[in-house]
Structure 1
Amino acid sequence: MLKKSLLALSLGTLLCGAQAMAADYKIDKEGQHAFVNFKISHLGYSWLYGTFKDFDGSFSFDAAKPEASAVKVELKTASVDSNHAERDKHLRSADFLNVAKHPTATFASTSVKSTGEGTADITGDLTLNGVTKPVVIAARFIGEGQDPWGGYRAGFEGSTRLKLKDFDIQKDLGPAAQEVELIISVEGVRQ
């Protein structure tokens, strides 16, 4: 009887310990359930929107302990798409993203701090245009659960603002266009 009780206690401890650990997710790039979009003022008259079509990444997440989470993303800068071929060519040039010299941008989290129910600040190192700077992404948990294909998913959205000059982007389009807002939406499949 004592052996059965000890075995049950050991199994219970293992199962509870496993549930308390962060799960690893791969960002669902294949199913196009992830987006890295941007918004910047066009001369102070309107908004210019765009996206990056080629990126990949992963995250680990535990709803019970969000501060144990982590995020890594790599983005191909040449995949910028603002729905205008000539503008995209200019965005890829040395005036902006300099994709010939810096074909990738990366983000690796260094800490996650809960800011409320389902929200967190994700601090990490962003490397863009050959410059690495710390940034904070204000993130919101959207949901998690089983998908119709037998997998398990979790989704988040977040945003941050970047000063272009901080990343050695020197092209000046006037005072209204000094910052760009990144809007990120990701859905990950648990591995």
Structure 2
Amino acid sequence: MLKKTLAALAIGSALLSAGSAMAADYVIDKEGQHAFVDFKISHLGYSYITGTFKDLDGKFSFDAAKPEDAKIEMNVRTASVFSNHAERDKHVNSADFLDSGKFPDAKFVSTSVKPTGKNADGKQTADVTGDLTFHGVTKPIVVKATFLGEGKDPWGGYRAGFEGTTSISRKEFVPKGMDVGPQSDVVQLYITFEGVKAK
């Protein structure tokens, strides 16, 4: 009986250890710049302006076997906006748009993850709901996310990577900003990043 009890405890302990080892915390790879928050917005309905934010960081926890338990937090420094035109970037940083001096940070914090199956490439997909705080306003958004993969890297670390898309209404976050017409209200966002497993 004692042997059976000890064996059961050993098996239970091993299973618990294996389960806890599966979940992992990651730091978004800012140093290697394997993280991007890109945007696309219509310019007067005639073309599109695209750009990115060059300064960001974040962290997440993830277990591929339990994606619904994943959590993510990402921070973006708004003054790092880059659209390949210095004068435009200066204007975008002004009170007409980002008002980066007053609102230097934008932040996304997930509140739930709902797995949605797999895409055509067999990658896991999910709807990641979270609170976006931008320009002093906090609103829930949904990011259509894809788990791109995980594994060892050449430098002895372990990585996991994702991509996602969402759209936000500029006037909902910046109601008193410069009016450039309804065709330029929707901002499309593309996010992709790698996280390095915390040691």
- Tell me, in whole angstroms, the C-alpha distance in 1 between the residues paired with 2:182 and 2:43: 10
Instruction: Give the corresponding residue for 1:132.
Output: 138
Q: Does 1:55 align with 2:61?
A: no
Which residue does the alignment assign to 1:77? 78
- In the alignment, what sits opposite 1:184? 191
Provide the rounded CA distance (Å) in 2 between the counterparts of 1:106 and 1:10: 40
Write the distance in 1 (CA, Å) between the matches of 2:59 and 2:70.
11
The answer to whether 1:16 aligns with 2:15 is no
Q: Aligned AA for 2:188?
A: E
AA matched with 1:183: Y
Partner letter of residue 47 of structure 2?
S
Q: Tell me the CA shift for residue 15 of structure 1.
A: 2.8
Provide the residue aligned with 2:113 in structure 1: 112
TM-score between the two structures when normalised by the length of structure 2: 0.90
CA-based RMSD = 1.5
Secondary structure of 1:101 counterpart:
coil
User: Are 1:155 and 2:161 an aligned pair?
Assistant: yes
Provide the TM-score with structure 1 as the length reference: 0.94
Distance across 2 between alignment mates of 1:99 and 1:89: 10
The code of the aligned residue for 2:76 comes to L
1:145 aligns with 2:151: yes
Q: Deviation per CA, 1:91-141, whole angstroms, max 9, x where unpaired? A: 000010011110111110111111112001111110111111111111011
> Could you tell me which residue of structure 1 aligns to residue 30 of structure 2?
29
Q: Deviations over 1:43-94 (max 9, x none)?
A: 1111111000001100111111111000101111100000100000000000
Q: Which residue matches 1:38? A: 39
Shift of 1:16: 2.6
**4+ runs of 1 displaced by more than 4 Å?**
none
Q: Give the Cα–Cα distance (whole angstroms) in 1 for the partners of residues 30 and 45 of structure 2.
A: 33
Shift of 1:175: 2.6
Given residue 169 of structure 2, which amino acid in structure 1 is its aligned partner? K
Identity of aligned residues (%): 61
The size of the alignment, in residue pairs, is 190
Please give the alpha-carbon distance, in whole angstroms, between the structure 2 residues aligned to 1:92 and 1:36.
16
Which secondary structure does the structure 1 equivalent of 2:172 belong to?
helix
Please tell me the residue identity of whatever aligns with 2:178.
K
Give unmatched runs, 5+ long, in structure 1.
none
